Every structure is written in structure tokens, then in C-alpha cells.
Structure 1
Amino acid sequence: MHPLRLERLTVRGWQFLVLFTMGVMVLAGALVGWALLHRTDQMSRAVIDGIGPARVAAGQLQAALRDQETGIRGYVITDDRQFLTPYYDGQHEEQAAAAEMRHRLDRRPDLTADLDAIEKAAAKWRATYAEPSIESVAPNGRNVTNRPAAERGKAEFDHLRTLFDTQNANLAAARTSAIDDFQYTEVWRDRVLGAMVLLFFGTAAALGILMRNAVTRPIAALTAACRRITEGNFGETISRPRRPRDIRNMAVDVENMRERLVEELEVSRSARALLDEQAAELRRSNAELEQFAYVASHDLQEPLRKVASFCQLLEKRYGDQLDGRGIEYIGFAVDGAKRMQVLINDLLTFSRVGRLGTMQTEVELDVALEAGLANLAAAVEEADAEIVRPPGPLPQIIGDPTLLTMLWQNLIGNAIKFRHQDRRPRVVVDCERRTGEHGDEWLLSVSDNGIGIAEEFTEKVFVIFQRLHGREVYSGTGVGLALCKKIVEHHGGTIWVDTSYTDGTRLRFTLPVPAQVGAGPTSPATSQGAHE
């Protein structure tokens, strides 16, 4: 095959070429082997089914003629017709043996010629001597055969014996020649079959080497190059093999992919370096900002306290000299200073979450809830709120007790603050254990029967300083739920508004279950009334 055509072959084409060549070799070997085996079988049959039985039939033929000669001689001497029985039986046996020989030697005219000569001589002997001798015996038992006739008959039968010897010699020579030809053919058969086996294995080895060089090695080289590239050696160039065609095309595609990856990697490295630089700058800026907020908040506390104190002193000392508008202005100033103090305190609390080293210990959520409710005792009593807790104990987790107390306080405080004006506030705390995306976790919820949160604001309420109502309707700084979100995320959980709850607001949040802590309810707790 032309080299250019070989280069166009794919892996499947190479496999087909190898299998086709091996198939042709096997078929050729099978045909040659069949021909040789058929030839040796023919030669073997020629000896076994031809010459061998013919020699036996020749012996029977010769014996039959001798029996005829013996019978004639005995009859002539004794005039006893019993001696003619071998003569006549011998003729039948002669005919049967001759027919058998002609059947066995139908393809050997050189050997049937001897048979023809014997039959011709036997017929002549019977015509010139045997039959006349039978007729020459007189009824009175006297033999009238003359001596010359007897000598002539003896000479003719001696000629038959010579023909017997010739026939036997020719049959023996034919048998020897057939055996020699058979053995010669057997030798060549074995040689040819051995050569075919050697040629088959040699061709198989050559095709194997060809497959290794043309297919296996290019695939192995491409695989090794791909492995080195996957290990990070992106600078290695993948060489393109000459064949097979699909492996060559694959190598080209992989090389193009490698070049594209190198380009993308350079872009990614540049972007990563820029991102790291910006992240470092952002961390530095956040640290400075948090430090500034912390310091500024502390520094703002004193001026605000002075403003509020002096405004109150001003109202106390000069209140009788001020008109109603002046007293109102002083009230505005005092209220603004107090609200500013509350906002600063909330900002301080918000900035401390996750920034300062917080305590990580085993926390009973029941204890944290009790502490939060204690801080809200006045608000609960003022609103006559009903707090419903799970019948069983809340779980134990790993966290900061102060932050978890603030979490309960803000969630329940919000539920009381945003209550419905025409019904008694009712706050329900639930807890259940479940398997989430990150393993086992506690699912807790705080539900109320208040004014609720519209679905479009369920994300906005967790943004710091975001308020859904005016300050004159509901007081607050807009930091509470943002602080709750920060506390929950600091403990490895998430918080969200359950929009499927329509009787008020239900806030759900998760906290991870520590591996060493398994206490608490393992199924959803059924809440029952417990007024606090």
C-alpha cells in the first residue's frame, strides 16, 4: 500500500487492515493444507484401495489358473470327471478375480495390460490344450492325447507362469512407487504446513510490530503528553504523529486546546493576581473601616451624652423661660441624641460580630432563649405577649452564648414590636432536626401573628439600615435583622423569611449539629402554650 494511503488510515482502518491480512493468511494456509491433505489421502487410497486389493486379486487369479491346470492334468491321467470340478470352478474364480483387478486398476492401464496378456494367454491355453484334452479322453477310459499336444500345453502354461511373475513384479513395483510417492508427498506436506505456520506467526509478529509503531506508540505518546499536561506542564508541545489519521487529528485538537488553556491560564493568573491584590486591599480597607467605626462610635458616645445632658439641663433650668416651641426643639434634640446613641450601639454590636474573638463553647439554646426573654421582660409584659416554646428542650450547639442570646432577643423583640394592633401578640418557637446540604442541622423558627412581611421585601429586611415602616410608626434603627443574619452565618447557618406562612411573619434559621453533641429533639416539636 502506498505510504500516503497508510497515513490516511484511522485506528479502525489499521485494525481492519491487520485483521484482513491475518484472514487472508489463514485462508491461504487452510487452502494449501487442504490441497496437501487431499493429495496424500488420494495416494494413500491408491495404495490401500487400489494396488493392495489388486495384488490379492492377482494371487486369486493365478491360483484359479493353477487349479484349472491341475484339474486338466488329473482328468487326463485318471479319466475321473471329479478332476474337472477345479477346472470349471477355477474359470469362475478367474473371471471374478479379473473383474476385481479391473475395478481396482481402472486408472492404471500399464497394470491392466498385464491382466489382458494373462487372460489372452489363458484363453489360448484353454482353446489349444485344455478343451481338446477333455475331448480327447475316450469313453472307454483311454487317453488319446498325443505327446506333442501335451508338450505344447505345458509350454503355453509355462508362458502363463512367466506372465504371472511379470504381473507380480509390476504390481510390487507399482506398490513401491506409490508408497515412495506417498512418503515424498507427506514430507513436502509437513514442510509446507510448517512453513505456513512459521509464515503465519512471522506475519502476525510483523503486523503486531506495525500496529505498535503505527497505532499503539502514537496513542501512548499522546496519552503520556496529555497526562503531563494535566499534571500542570502546560508548556509541553504535543507532537503530531504521521498516522493514524484520527489520532493525528486528535493530537491537533489537543494541542489547540492546550494553547487555548495556556492563554486562558495566563488570563486567569493575571485576573487572580489582580483579584488577590484587590482582596488584600479590600481586607485592609475593611479592617481600617471597622477600626474606624469602632473608634468613631466610642468617640461619638461622649459628645452625644453631653448634647443630651446639656439639653436636659437647659430644659430643667430655663424651661420656665422658654415657650412651647423652644421646649419642643429641646425635646427633638434630646430624642435625636438618644436615637443616635442607640444607632451607634447597634453599629458597635454589628461590627463586633465575627471581628473580635468570640467564645466558642457548648451552648444550651434554652439558656440563651431564657436570657433573651429576660432582657425582653418589660416589652413582653407591656404588650401582654404570649411566648410559645417547644415541649421538649432545645438542642445544644457550639457557639457564642452572648451572640445567641442577642439572636433570640432580636427575633422575639421584632415579633413583639411589629404586632397587630387588634390582637394579642403570640410568638411561637419551633425546632426540628433535619439533613441539609451540609449534613445534619437544626431548623429553628420564630413565628408571630403580627403584620407580616410582603414577599418582595423578604431579602431587603436583612440589609442593614433598611426599614419598611416610618420611624413615627415603628421605632428602630434597621440593624436588628441584619445583625441576626450576621450572627447565624457566623455560626455556620442560614436565615430566611418563610413566605408560605401567611398568618404573620415566620423567620427560619439553621444551625449545624456538632458531631459530639446529639442532644435535643430529633423530630419536629409540637408547640403548646406557655405564657412567659
Structure 2
Amino acid sequence: MTKTRWTTQQWFAAVLVAMVVLILGAAAFGAQALNRTTQVSNRLNDRISPARTAVVQLGDALRNQDTALRGYLLSGAPQLLDLYRQSVTEEATAAAALRDVLAGEAGPLADLAAIEDEAARWRTGIAEPALRTRDRDVSTAAFDPVRGRLATLDQRLSTARQEGRAALGEARELRNTVFLAAVGALLLLIVVIAVLLRTTVVQPLHRLGAAARRVADGDFTHELAPDGPIEVTQLGRDVEAMRRRLVDALTVTQQARDDLEQREAELRRSNADLEQFAYVASHDLQEPLRKVASFCQMLERRYAAALDERGKQYIGFAVDGATRMQRLINDLLTFSRIGRLYDDERPVDLNDIVDRVEDSLAVSIGETGARIVRPRLPVVAGDATLLTMLWQNLLGNAIKFRRPDEPPVVEITAAADGASWAFTVSDNGIGIDPEFADKIFVIFQRLHPRDRYDGTGIGLAVCKKVVEHHGGEIALDPAYRKGARFTFSLPA
């Protein structure tokens, strides 16, 4: 059976619901306790205490009636009679005030009614007849029932005050207990929340982080086993999936690295073979060619009289073939040395390079009347020998492939292009058909027969390799129709 896991949101929702329930329960109990405390306090302050004051006033009014009556009967002073009647009025006023204060208090109200009845009986039965007859023989004991009823009411109110104070103390104690219990429950709930968050969220995240750091430290075979809420579990699964993809990518990379190392070893062997071939080509192959050419020329000179025109022609073919073979070998050696022997990188002033190239082409420039137009050229980073080959071939081709009816004009431009320089070399020669734009940069590819233009067809291939070795690009501008224009870039 699959164990249902809560999400982090569900955990927080449950915690919030528990806190809300606790707060509402505490608020309800606290409200009841406060209400009980308020009721008891209001009864004491609004009824019992004012009632005791009113009882004192009522007692004073009743006792003043008895005292004034007996004084008047003994002395006949009219002010005592006035005091008697005023006390009766004060009795009524105090009784009315006491009745308002004791509204809802059945026992005290009954005692008040008994006091009023007893006082009325004393006045109708004792006081009023004595005032009419001026009978001085009024017993003080006649007023004792009124005093007794008044003492009963006062005792009842005193008892009620004591009970109210006790109830108020209990209500306050209950209130304090409820609030302390609510605070304790809230603190306990906070502790439970902290423990739950630690066990259900923090610890799974900590374990997941530790496992992820272990993988990040290089233990890519360590599998992640996430637990905890759904979000944490899903995060762990995503990290585990990422780890597996990384392991797969590392496996593929390692295989590619092994293949690359193997190919690098093969390339080193191939370069070693190429260097050996270059050595053989520069020494062992050229020596027989020189001998063939040399002996053919000696044969022609010594036996010229014995040879007819066809024989001389055959010897000329042999000498020309050996010479062309030497040129091909030399050009091939030059091509192979690019990036292998010539691999320097330093600031190179192209003005000096082009000056040297013009000096080397001085004979061709003088014979053809060529004119080279160039601005002040920049300083670039590269190998001076390779850059000399580049400009030698570009300018040499511009002069070689000229129109027969006009002197060649070669124009050079240079413009900064970010971290590199963009160059163009344009001429007014015979031009190149755009369909051969790629073919002309292939080694030993020729567009014209040898009897018309000499060369081995390696010049533009050398230019392409030199430019690409320096991190640039070279191409034929197909939109230029006045001759040929080559564009290339070199690092600043």
C-alpha cells in the first residue's frame, strides 16, 4: 500500500488550522471567563456596594424618626417634629433608591419590603397616636422590630458582598487559568510545529542537500533517495534525474575523450609521418630530380649534334617535367609547414610586409607597369613569414592574371571590424567566375592551362590556410565584376 505524503502546503495549512482552532477556543473560554468576572464585578460595584450605602441611609432615616419622636414628646420642640417628618421623607427616598439598586435581587427586596411594612406599622400603631395624644410613655422596644428587619437586610447584603468577592476571586482565577492554559498550549503548538517542520521538511532537505553535495564533489555514482513532503521528494527526483543525465553525458564525454586521445595519437603519428615525408621530399626526392634534370641538360649539350629536333624536344620535356616536379614538391613543403614550422604570434606591421612583397615583385611590376594602391595598413597579430606568403600570393596573382591590353591596378583597403581587421585586395584583371569561388582555394586546382599561366595552383590554398591559421576567413567577392576581389580578416 502506497503511503500518502503531504505536501509542504498541506503541512502549513494543518498547522495554521490548529493555531486558529487553539486561538478560537482560547478566545471563547477567555470571553466566558471575562464575562463571568465582569458580571460578578458589576454586581458588587453596581448593586451590593451602593445597596449597603443606601441601607445606611435608610437606617439613619428610621432611627432619626424614633429619636425625633421621643424628643418631641418629651420637649415639645417643633423642630424635632419637623425632623421626624423629614426623616419619613428620607426613608421613602432611601427605600426607593435601594429598590432601584436591588432590582433582580429577590432576597434583599423582600427584606426591604419587610422593613417598610414594619416601619409603617410602627408609625400607624405607635408614632402617629403618640403625636396626637402627646403620650410620653412611648417604649423604645416598639421600634425593635424595625431594627431587626434592618439588621437582617444589612446582614444579607454583607453576606452577598462576601460571596461576591469570593465569586470574583474565583472568576479571576478561572480567567487567569484559561489565559495561562492558552499561552501554554500555544507555546506547545509552536514547539510541535518546529519539530514537525524539522522532521518533515528541514531534515529531508538537509539529507537531499548532503547527497547533492556528495554528487557535486565528484561521487557521480551516489544515488539520491529523497523523502519528506511531495515537493521535496519531487525535487530529489529531479536532482537524481539530472545526476543520471550527467553520468550519461560524462560517459559519452569520456568515450569521446578516449576517441579524441586515440585520434590525437594517430594524428601525432600522422604528423610524424608527414614530417618524415617532408624530410624525404626535401632531400631524397629532390636529389634524383636534380640529377635527372642535370643529366638531361648534359646529354643535350654533349650530343646536340647527334640529336634531331624530336630528340631535343623529348629532352626538353624531361627537363621541364623534373623542374615542375621540384616546384610542386617545394610548394607542397611550404603548404605543410604552415602552422607547423611557422607558428609565431607577435605584432606585425603589414606596411613592412607589403613593402617587402613589392620589392620581391619589383621585376613583374616593372615589366607590366603595375600600380598598387594601398592605405596606411594596421598592425596585426600573427607570423611574419606566413603573412608574407599571404600578401605575396595575393599581389602576385593580381599581377599575373592581368588583362593583356592594360596595366594591372591593385587596390588594397583595410577597415577595423571589432577585434579584427577586414581587408580587400581588388584588381582589374581577367577575374574569376563565381562558380569557381570554392574550387580556387583547393590545393593544386587550376583554372587555366600551364602554357598560358605558369604556377602549380597552390597559391590561393596557401592564402586560405594562412588566414584560417590566424583565426580569420577569406573569400572571393562574387559581386565584383571589374576583375577579382578577395576579402579576408585578421586579428587586430
> What interval of TM-score do these two structures reach, taking the shorter chain for normalisation?
0.7 to 0.9
* 1:8 counterpart SS class: coil
Deviates more, 1:64-73 or 1:38-47: 64-73
* 1:414 counterpart SS class: helix
Q: Name stretches of at least 5 consecutive residues in structure 2 with no aligned partner.
A: none
Query: For each residue in 1:365-392, what CA deviation from the matched residue of structure 2 results, as whole angstroms up to 9, or x when unmatched?
Result: 21111111111222223332221221x4
In structure 2, do the counterparts of structure 1 residues 271 and 347 end up closer, same or farther at CA, with 3 Å as the change threshold? same
Give the counterpart of 1:389 among 374, 377, 382.
374
Indicate if the aligned counterparts of 1:493 and 1:509 stay in contact, CA closer than 8 A. Answer: no
Deviates more, 1:75-84 or 1:267-276: 75-84
Query: For each residue in 1:334-369, what CA deviation from the matched residue of structure 2 results, as whole angstroms up to 9, or x when unmatched?
Result: 433333222211111111222226555543221111
Find the counterpart in structure 2 of residue 192 from structure 1: 178
In structure 2, do the counterparts of structure 1 residues 39 and 305 end up closer, same or farther at CA, with 3 Å as the change threshold? same
In structure 2, do the counterparts of structure 1 residues 188 and 305 end up closer, same or farther at CA, with 3 Å as the change threshold? same
Find the counterpart in structure 2 of residue 28 from structure 1: 25
Report how many aligned residue pairs link the two structures: 491
Deviates more, 1:478-487 or 1:420-429: 420-429
* 1:387 counterpart SS class: strand
Q: Matched residues in 1 for 2:433 and 2:62: separation?
A: 135
Aligned-residue offset at 1:177: 1.9
After superposition, residues 115-514 of structure 1 pair within 5 angstroms as: 115-134=112-131, 136=132, 144-146=133-135, 150-151=138-139, 154-241=140-227, 243-316=228-301, 327-356=312-341, 358-390=343-375, 392=376, 394-420=377-403, 424-435=407-418, 440-452=419-431, 457-471=436-450, 474-490=453-469, 492-497=470-475, 499=477, 502-503=480-481, 504-513=483-492
In structure 2, do the counterparts of structure 1 residues 505 and 167 end up closer, same or farther at CA, with 3 Å as the change threshold? farther
Paired amino acid for 1:282: L
- Bigger RCO of structures 1 and 2 (CA < 8 A, at least 6 apart): 1
Aligned-residue offset at 1:221: 1.0
* 1:354 counterpart SS class: coil
Q: Matched residues in 2 for 1:414 and 1:126: separation?
A: 154
Give the alignment's TM-score, normalised by structure 2.
0.87
Paired amino acid for 1:425: P
Indicate if the aligned counterparts of 1:495 and 1:507 stay in contact, CA closer than 8 A. Answer: no
Paired amino acid for 1:429: I
Indicate if the aligned counterparts of 2:342 and 2:386 stay in contact, CA closer than 8 A. Answer: no
Indicate if the aligned counterparts of 2:69 and 2:81 stay in contact, CA closer than 8 A. Answer: yes
Q: Matched residues in 2 for 1:463 and 1:288: separation?
A: 22
RMSD: 3.2
In structure 2, do the counterparts of structure 1 residues 285 and 155 end up closer, same or farther at CA, with 3 Å as the change threshold? same
In structure 2, do the counterparts of structure 1 residues 157 and 442 end up closer, same or farther at CA, with 3 Å as the change threshold? farther
After superposition, residues 58-73 of structure 1 pair within 5 angstroms as: 58-73=55-70
Paired amino acid for 1:146: D
* 2:150 counterpart SS class: helix
Paired amino acid for 2:459: G
Indicate if the aligned counterparts of 1:458 and 1:496 stay in contact, CA closer than 8 A. Answer: no
Aligned-residue offset at 1:102: 3.1
Matched, 1:51 2:34: no
Q: Matched residues in 1 for 2:301 and 2:235: separation?
A: 92
Aligned-residue offset at 1:71: 4.4
Find the counterpart in structure 1 of residue 14 from structure 2: 17
Paired amino acid for 1:30: A
* 2:457 counterpart SS class: coil
* 1:445 counterpart SS class: strand
Deviates more, 1:259-268 or 1:186-195: 259-268
Paired amino acid for 1:173: T
